A and B are shown apart, each in its own frame.
Chain A
Amino acid sequence: MSETGRIARRFAALKAEGRAGLVTFITAGDPDHETCRAVLEGLPEAGADLIELGMPFTDPMADGPAIQAAGLRALKAGAKTKRVLELVADFRAKDQDTPVILMGYYNPIYSYGVERFLADAKAAGVDGLIVVDLPPEEDEELCIPALKAGVNFVRLATPTSDDARLPAVLKNTSGFVYYVSVAGITGAASASDAAVAEAVARLKRHTDLPVAVGFGIKSPEQAAAVARVADAAVVGSAIVSRVAANLGEDGVPKPRLVPDVLGFVRQLAAGVRGART
């Protein structure tokens, strides 16, 4: 399948520049709608090449403490699926080029209604979906409808996706492949550089799609190490932790929150951009 759309264009541009991309994850509506919007709108200028926007869920089974807490903060502040899509639409009005991928769990989407969700997401300017609890065995639920609606469905490949299983994992994947470098939850341990390089090489034997690597990347140095071997490095928990670090005891954001978070993204971007020079 020939790839079109913002995600494919962005990876093509990165390839032309001869560098890997930085994928940043933040949770939609964390710590509140307006603060999140300010962070989101500042991400491209700070050096995010692609943006993953987490859809809050009460029961995030694959996430570690940092992203769990972010989701609960967002829900407490009134996050709804509709509001998440509004964030994307507002962002898209100002930025036509940076891909936005929604990442979350299936139930809020199922509850919203798959067809309606895909139509609204597409209209808001969403480019792709990562839905943690939809393996290839459940492709009929959302993956196939998403592809038909022109929304990329980005699959997670993991250390347990062996050569026998990879074809099934990759079959309906589009946009890029997200390699989860460790078996575990978000924000936990990180894999060794050698293990990541080997895994990326193995994925590349099975697919022409770009490979982004995430889980456990916390510093510009780690991001740079991944950027040397993969097409993109994904950073989530470490960014979300910066949001948490800038909240007062009452949960109210401190004035430095937005510049501090974006400053950290700038450091990550510098790491990624300098990796292959």
Chain B
Amino acid sequence: MTIPNTFRAGPDEHGHFGIYGGRFVAETLMPLILEVEKAYNAAKADPDFQAEMTERLKQYVGRPNPLYFAERLTERLGGAKVYFKREELNHTGAHKINNCIGQILLARRMGKTRIIAETGAGQHGVATATVCALFDMPCVIYMGEVDIARQQPNVFRMKLLGAEVVSVTSGARTLKDAMNEALRDWVTNVADTYYLIGTVAGPHPYPTMVRDFQSVIGDEVRWQMQELEGRLPDSLVACVGGGSNAMGLFHPFLDDQGVKIVGVEAAGRGLDKGPDDHAASIAGGRPGVLHGNRTYLLQDEDGQILEGHSISAGLDYPGIGPEHAWLNDIGRVEYASATDQEALDAFQLCARTEGIIPALESAHALAEVVKRAPTLPKDHLMVMCLSGRGDKDIFTVANELGVKL
């Protein structure tokens, strides 16, 4: 495989990152997909759009959030200097809102009057319901029945914000089925509805657009690290389900060859346990086509999609964004994995050493930091994306720890 001059030029005009990406959707949706692409390209080039985006991120989301030196954790691990990018301090408690602000502005610009979205852990659902309240648009959130049961606080948050939460009972009743159901809604209400996808997946232009809206994470890390340490970081670590917080952190650094980049997939009960025991699409899947794009998928030998498993509802998806698939194949990003247990351990470590309760998703990234930092010199600057806060996960964690709330 030839190494390109830049890793940041993709995708091509058809939405391909190498063999990944594309526009694998029903004909009914194609004209709208093309319209979204056109509208996004125009918005991207429009200084007014960019200015409004920047202002909303500042005044409403609370950006920039800190690049925080995790001193006690660094001491504890005894190696690399660990920084957290504090996305959990954003309004709504995760990175998801960055993308939602961008897409709701786009939907409004396109004259759409109704918003739909899928959600797994509920973070994207909450962020979408939030921006819909802010912009006074009706909002329908599709969420798997299984996820509704394990993420009750977020379900209630969405309802408080005025969203309709639809329980998805088809298929495996988790994130992938919520996405199927959202696509069914979209194909039925194509004239007035905008589908606000929460991760760097789906048909082109979504993977690119969501990446661009999330790149504010990496852009801030760049100047913040310059201010704090006078140079670029040496390594970046982020968890990857669909992979939007990771793409947002990684993308601005892809062409800085000195920056080591690591994505962390969910290894669930263990990669060696079985194909339905983890959610690591790259480590345990192979290329296939689902939800509008070609990417690594968990699937059986006949191309049927598997359920996947992770303790974290936000990582429990059988695919991964197509740009990650490409970055893996081309070798620019290394994809590691962390088990449920490793994430639980990291979750508790973070709470006790830094006074921060991380989302279980982010705890997967932290588990990799725990493995990696001790092997590195003290002047190694490592940035981990603390993508969300863990309040939503306390019931799951209590259950795992045998505590009754």
Contacts and interface: CB of A to CB of B under 8 A. Distances in A.
B17 to A, nearest CB: 15
B48 interface: no
Given A61-B180, A160-B31, A185-B187, A112 B303 contact: yes
Contact of A111 (B27, B31, B183, B302): B302
B27 A75 contact: no
B12 to A, nearest CB: 12
A58 B308 CA distance: 13
A137 interface: yes
A138 B204 CA distance: 12
A184 interface: yes
B171 A156 contact: no
Contacts of A65: 170
A91 interface: no
A183 B189 CA distance: 7
B302 A81 contact: yes
A108 B180 contact: no
Interface string A21-53: 000000000000000000000000000000000
A48 to B, nearest CB: 25
Contacts of B24: 106, 133-135, 138
A198 interface: no
B38 interface: no
Contacts of A81: 302-303
Contacts of A60: 180
Q: Which of A68, A109, A110, A137 has the most CB of B within 10 A?
A: A137
Interface string B286-320: 00111110000101011111000000000000000
Given A58-B304, A59-B180, A156-B26, A107 B31 contact: no
Nearest to A164: B31
B23 A135 contact: yes
Contacts, number: 115
A111 B296 CA distance: 12
Interface residues of B, number: 36
Contacts of A165: 30-31
B110 interface: no
Contacts of B302: 80-81, 108, 111-112
B288 A135 contact: no
B305 A59 contact: yes
A137 B14 contact: yes
A107 B187 contact: no
B171 A135 contact: no
A65 B171 CA distance: 11
A147 interface: no
B22 A138 contact: yes
A183 B188 contact: yes
B197 to A, nearest CB: 13
B191 to A, nearest CB: 8
B288 A107 contact: yes
A159 B31 CA distance: 11
18 contacts: A64-B184, A81-B303, A106-B289, A107-B305, A110-B288, A110-B303, A111-B301, A136-B30, A137-B30, A157-B27, A160-B30, A160-B31, A183-B187, A183-B190, A183-B191, A184-B28, A184-B188, A185-B184
